[in-house]
């Protein structure tokens, strides 16, 4: 069911628009799974220095995200507001990716810090305008969910391909990190320019919507964002949702290693989880069309919470049960992301009506910083809480009492955070009907200007 007469994007257009995510999502995983161990174990950089370099490089996002978001909203460049930034970010991303994945003979803290900062800058220049552009491809309530679901599904598909390749290599006994990273970088260097070309040349940008023109500073613009009640509620729920998922992501391997005593199952478990979340995307899309986006998002979060609780009671010998529960709970993860992004596009319409201009870039910049903060919070909670309960990953034996605390954190804390986030969505003000009213007012105001 749709609430406008806008034509739906074709499957070809949806794939072309989503295509860059297939490669950028593949690049993100090795930065977590491979790079820290590779630089510390193989290249001799202290692990603390590796973690510090990557963490410090992310601090630049506080400056670059709102700056690129605001500039991509305001500047009119030859390729378009969003496409131009994606094109400029491509060489920065590819060069820095190669220098990190295939490093020089002599590496150091400063080497990794500099190239990591460049990599994340290039990624922001591609990803932030890409998501803002997606929010502008349609003004239709349900079509926005369809667009966001395709982007998240393609991104998840890229991760599935990478994980499947790693599992196959592991079965064949190929576990050399340097060789794996070189091959991953080579594939991305070839694939991403082709995928980007398809996106930029087969999908059009819409002209920006302008209700009225008012000169305001970046700070004044951010103040309007901050007093948007629907956006504030979405920020709160995403903070709880993403941090809850990040806690479990941080603890997956540790639980398998020190409770289940089957760490080797980790790649297969993560692969199955990603396959499940990919297959479930169409189901959650249908649920959002039938019941509304906020209700579907609440349902996806509570689904994850429901299957997280039993994890707290599992112990050695129940690895298959744990993997099954992880797959079930993870089947709603990508849907949480695409539904939240789709709702964010509706929230931007409310801001367009109030501010007089379409500021998708600025909104998604703030949105991105919230997600990054949530991920960091989840990692902190996923390490600090177990440590406070006496858990030491380097210990040869983990006592039953410590295992009980660890599994409670692994299962119960994320479920609690999901529940709190779902409560933030109760009575969400932007329903299908309210969105239709907002769109009608924007269209009427734009018609008067023309």
CATH number of the domain within which 76 lies: 1.20.1250.20
Residue 2 lies in a domain: no
Give the residue-averaged pLDDT of 362-381: 84
Q: Does 215 lie in the same domain as 192?
A: no
Distance of CA 165 to the CA centre of its chain: 22
The last residue of a domain, from among 205, 229, 251: 205
Residue 1 lies in a domain: no
Q: Does 221 lie in the same domain as 303?
A: yes
Alpha-helical segments (H) within 356-431: 360-388, 400-424
Q: Does 230 lie in the same domain as 201?
A: no
> What digits encode the pLDDT tens for the residues 164-209?
888 887 777 777 778 888 888 999 999 999 999 999 999 999 887 6
Residue 241 lies in a domain: yes
Q: Does 184 lie in the same domain as 143?
A: yes
Confidence band of 31 (pLDDT split at 50, 70, 90): confident
Q: Does 155 lie in the same domain as 103?
A: yes
Residue 88 lies in a domain: yes
Residue 359 lies in a domain: yes
CB 65 within 8 A of CB 368: yes
In this structure, what token pair is assigned to residue 382?
A: 């996923």
CB 42 within 8 A of CB 180: no
Q: Which SS3 state, helix, strand or coil, does residue 357 take?
A: strand
Give the HSE-up count for residue 310: Cα atoms under 13 Å, Cβ half-sphere. 15
Q: Does 103 lie in the same domain as 14?
A: yes
Please give the tally of structural domains in the chain: 2
Residue 235 lies in a domain: yes
In this structure, what token pair is assigned to residue 111?
A: 């080497």
Q: Does 152 lie in the same domain as 278?
A: no
Residue 346 lies in a domain: yes
Q: Is the pLDDT of residue 212 over 50?
A: yes
Give the residue-averaged pLDDT of 360-374: 86
Q: Does 250 lie in the same domain as 122?
A: no
pLDDT of residue 138: 92
Confidence band of 1 (pLDDT split at 50, 70, 90): very low
In this structure, what token pair is assigned to residue 205?
A: 């940008």
Q: Does 166 lie in the same domain as 256?
A: no
Q: Does 68 lie in the same domain as 11?
A: yes
The last residue of a domain, from among 159, 184, 205: 205
Q: Does 18 lie in the same domain as 142?
A: yes
Dist. CA 408–CA 223, nearest whole Å: 40
Instruction: Write out the residue range of the structural domain in which residue 387 sits.
Output: 209-450
Higher pLDDT: 450 or 421? It is 421
CB 258 within 8 A of CB 322: no
The last residue of a domain, from among 169, 186, 205: 205
Q: Does 305 lie in the same domain as 196?
A: no
Residue 401 lies in a domain: yes
> What digits encode the pLDDT tens for the residues 35-85?
877 887 788 888 678 878 887 887 888 888 889 998 988 888 888 889 999
Q: Is the pLDDT of residue 419 over 90?
A: yes
Cα torsion 78, 83, 85, 89 to 10°: value is: -120
């Amino acid at each position: 069911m749709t609430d406008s007469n806008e034509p739906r994007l074709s499957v070809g257009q949806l794939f072309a628009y989503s295509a860059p995510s297939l490669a950028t999502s593949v690049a993100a995983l090795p930065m977590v799974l491979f790079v820290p161990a590779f630089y510390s174990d193989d290249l001799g950089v202290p692990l603390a220095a590796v973690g510090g370099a990557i963490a410090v490089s992310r601090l630049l996002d506080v400056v670059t995200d709102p700056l690129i978001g605001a500039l991509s909203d305001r500047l009119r460049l030859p390729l378009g507001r969003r496409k131009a930034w994606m094109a400029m970010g491509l060489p920065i991303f590819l060069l820095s990716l190669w220098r990190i994945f295939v490093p020089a003979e002599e590496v150091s803290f400063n080497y990794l810090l500099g190239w990591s900062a460049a990599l994340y800058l290039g990624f922001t220049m591609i990803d932030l305008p890409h998501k803002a552009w997606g929010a502008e491809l349609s003004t239709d309530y349900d079509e926005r969910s369809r667009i966001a679901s395709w982007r998240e599904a393609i991104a998840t598909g890229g991760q599935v391909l990478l994980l499947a390749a790693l599992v196959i290599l592991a079965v064949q006994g190929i576990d050399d990190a340097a060789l794996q990273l070189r091959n991953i970088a080579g594939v991305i260097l070839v694939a991403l320019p082709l995928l980007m070309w398809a996106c930029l040349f087969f999908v059009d940008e819409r002209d920006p919507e302008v209700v009225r023109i008012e000169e305001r500073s970046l700070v004044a613009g951010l103040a309007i964002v901050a007093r948007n009640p629907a956006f504030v509620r979405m920020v709160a729920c995403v903070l709880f949702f993403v941090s809850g998922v990040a806690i479990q992501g941080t603890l997956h391997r540790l639980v398998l290693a020190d409770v289940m005593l089957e760490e080797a199952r980790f790649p297969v478990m993560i692969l199955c989880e990603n396959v499940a979340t990919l297959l479930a995307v169409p189901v959650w899309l249908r649920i959002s069309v039938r019941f509304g986006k906020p209700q579907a998002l609440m349902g996806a979060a509570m689904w994850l919470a429901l299957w997280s609780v039993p994890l707290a009671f599992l112990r050695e010998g129940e690895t298959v049960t744990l993997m099954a529960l992880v797959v079930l709970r993870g089947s709603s993860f990508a849907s949480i992301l695409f539904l939240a992004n789709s709702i964010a596009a509706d929230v931007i319409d409310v801001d367009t009506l109030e501010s007089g201009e379409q500021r998708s870039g600025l909104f998604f910049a703030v949105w991105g910083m919230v997600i990054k903060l949530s991920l960091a919070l989840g990692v902190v909670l996923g390490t600090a809480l177990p440590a406070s309960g006496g858990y030491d990953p380097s210990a040869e034996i983990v006592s039953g009492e410590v295992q009980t605390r660890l599994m409670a954190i692994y299962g119960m804390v994320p479920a609690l955070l999901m529940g709190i986030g779902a409560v933030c969505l109760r009575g969400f003000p932007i329903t299908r009907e309210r969105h239709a009213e907002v769109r009608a007012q924007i269209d009427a105001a734009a018609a008067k200007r023309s």
